[in-house]
């Protein structure tokens, strides 16, 4: 080999060495970047508050964060590279988890609730969610499985539900006792009425008795009701009307049409008092000089645009409470008139209108109020 050929050979060797050197440097740099990226990914996984596991397509564990190891009392040697269901003596090999891992995974997480006794950590309430991710560079698919321990939250909720249920039972018992006390008072008034010979005190006591019956009907429904906060108005109104029918015993038929409306205790009581005054008055006065074969009172209660619309009419002679409202305000100064006017306009913040079409027609409107003290939740919901 001459000197010229030797020099060219040396140049080629040096060039190849330099190329190899550059490739080695680039590969080491790529490996460093890959390690840095992996470390960064691990730090992100560890920063997640709730337990997190990363699974490959075969459900083997690629990575897990510290929260996962702490919650289930596991170590990386037991977890990494193992099938998630069979690792740690099948700690997660149960029906709910199997169903979760079999679900089709996409960008939206699939969620299940778990209540189970784990042999390493005891009984737990867990909320598990799995979400798929595709790494397009190498066409790899991963799954992110998060497991949140909600045991303390669930226990707190159950204690609150139990407290609310106890409160609802106590409230029903209070209403039951109020109803009994009102019944005793009504019975005492009834006994007193039988001893009277003068018509005037008899009428006063009878009116007082009907008002007590109206309030008692609400409390009787409250003691039977499974709803806390609001009550359906149909039952107390039917009970009150039945009581009035039995009290007056005058062969007047009362027709009821009532929408399924729920009112607060306050509004239900006021409504029953208003109804009691008008219906009692109709029993006593609306059918004076009535010549028809049937005597009927019609009561319709509807809900319209969050308002109660109460209509009371009869086929009587047009006499009764409120008839003077057809001519002028203030013509009627009876206690019943004053009660209805004040209850509707000042307590219920509604309107009371009267018109005559054969008999009298009363229309009362007021807005449905929301209860601010006890949420409208049933006992069945509390115990579910």
Q: Are 97 and 128 in contact (CB under 8 A)?
A: yes
Please tell me the predicted confidence (pLDDT) of residue 29.
60
3-state secondary structure 126-138: EEEEEEEEEECCC
Cα–Cα distance for residue pair 285/214, rounded to 1 Å: 20
Structure tokens at 384: 């579910």
Query: Rounded mean pLDDT of the chain?
Result: 76
Closest by alpha carbon to 270, among 215, 193, 341?
A: 215
Sequential DSSP letters for 285-349: IITTT--SS--EEEEEEEEETTEEEEEEEESS-S-STTGGGGT-TTS---HHHHHHHHIIIIIS-
135: β partners? 140
Q: Are 101 and 128 in contact (CB under 8 A)?
A: no
Closest by alpha carbon to 266, among 211, 218, 234, 197?
A: 218
Would the pLDDT of 169 be above 60? yes
Cα–Cα distance for residue pair 114/51, rounded to 1 Å: 15
DSSP 8-class letter at 378: E
Structure tokens at 240: 């009150």
Cα–Cα distance for residue pair 364/301, rounded to 1 Å: 9
Angle between helices 335-342 and 265-281 (to 10 degrees): 150
Structure tokens at 179: 């109803």
Give 244-247 contacts, CB < 8 A, sequence gap 24+. Answer: 244/210, 244/213, 244/276, 244/279, 244/280, 244/283, 247/206, 247/209, 247/210, 247/213
Residue % of the chain over a pLDDT of 70: 64
pLDDT band per the 50, 70, 90 thresholds, residue 349: very high
Cα–Cα distance for residue pair 278/344, rounded to 1 Å: 12
Cα–Cα distance for residue pair 129/148, rounded to 1 Å: 9
What does the pLDDT average to over 182-208?
A: 63
Please tell me the predicted confidence (pLDDT) of residue 3.
60
**Antiparallel, parallel or unpaired: β 253-258 and 296-304:** parallel
Please tell me the predicted confidence (pLDDT) of residue 66.
86
Neighbour-count burial of 234, counting CB atoms closer than 10 A to its CB (0-12 exposed, 13-18 middle, 19+ buried): middle
Highest mean pLDDT among 21-25, 49-53, 131-135, 378-382: 49-53
Closest by alpha carbon to 62, among 48, 74, 52?
A: 52
User: Could you give the domains of the chain?
Assistant: 45-149 (3.30.450.20), 156-379 (3.30.565.10)
Sequential DSSP letters for 109-132: PEEEEEEEEETTTEEEEEEEEEEE
As a whole number of Å, the end-to-end CA separation of the chain is 97
Please tell me the predicted confidence (pLDDT) of residue 333.
57
Cα–Cα distance for residue pair 118/120, rounded to 1 Å: 6
Query: Would you give the distance in Å from CA 315 to the centre of its chain?
Result: 43
Structure tokens at 67: 């929260």
Please tell me the predicted confidence (pLDDT) of residue 383.
39
Least confident of 90-99, 206-215, 276-285: 206-215
Structure tokens at 95: 């029906």
pLDDT band per the 50, 70, 90 thresholds, residue 374: very low
Least confident of 36-50, 211-225, 273-287: 36-50
Identify which has the larger pLDDT, 358 or 171: 358
């Amino acid at each position: 080999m001459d000197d010229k050929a030797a020099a060219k050979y040396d140049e080629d060797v040096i060039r190849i060495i330099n190329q190899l050197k550059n490739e080695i440097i680039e590969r080491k740099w790529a490996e460093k970047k890959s390690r840095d990226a992996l470390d960064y990914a691990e730090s992100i996984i560890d920063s997640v508050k709730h337990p997190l596991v990363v699974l490959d397509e075969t459900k083997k564990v690629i990575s897990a964060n510290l929260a996962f190891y702490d919650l289930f009392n596991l170590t990386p040697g037991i977890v990494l590279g193992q099938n998630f269901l069979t690792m740690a003596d099948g700690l997660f090999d149960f029906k709910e988890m199997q169903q979760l891992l079999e679900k089709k995974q996409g960008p939206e997480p699939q969620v299940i609730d778990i209540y189970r006794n784990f042999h390493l950590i005891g009984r737990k309430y867990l909320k598990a969610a799995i979400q798929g991710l595709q790494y397009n560079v190498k066409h790899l698919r991963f799954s992110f499985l998060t497991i949140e321990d909600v045991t303390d939250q669930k226990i707190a909720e159950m204690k609150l539900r139990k407290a609310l249920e106890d409160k609802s039972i106590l409230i029903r018992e209070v209403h039951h006792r109020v109803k009994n006390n009102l019944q005793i008072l009504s019975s005492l008034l009834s006994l007193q009425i039988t001893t009277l010979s003068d018509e005037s005190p008899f009428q006063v006591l009878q009116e007082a008795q009907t008002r007590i019956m109206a309030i008692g009907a609400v409390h009787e429904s409250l003691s039977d009701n499974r709803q806390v906060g609001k009550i359906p108005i149909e039952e107390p109104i039917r009970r009150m009307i039945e009581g009035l029918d039995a009290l007056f015993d005058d062969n007047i038929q009362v027709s009821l049409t009532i929408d399924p409306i729920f009112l607060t205790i306050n509004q239900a009581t006021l409504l029953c008092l208003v109804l009691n005054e008008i219906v009692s008055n109709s029993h006593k006065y609306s059918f004076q000089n009535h010549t028809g074969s049937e005597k009927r009172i019609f009561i319709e209660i509807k809900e319209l645009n969050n308002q109660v619309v109460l209509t009371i009419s009869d086929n009587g002679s047009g006499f009764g409470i409120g008839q003077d409202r057809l001519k002028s305000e203030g013509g009627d100064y009876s206690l019943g008139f004053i009660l209805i006017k004040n209850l509707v306009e000042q307590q219920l913040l509604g309107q009371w209108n009267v018109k005559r079409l054969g008999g009298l027609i009363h229309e009362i409107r007021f807005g449905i109020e929301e209860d601010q003290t006890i949420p409208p939740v049933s006992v069945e919901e509390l115990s579910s």
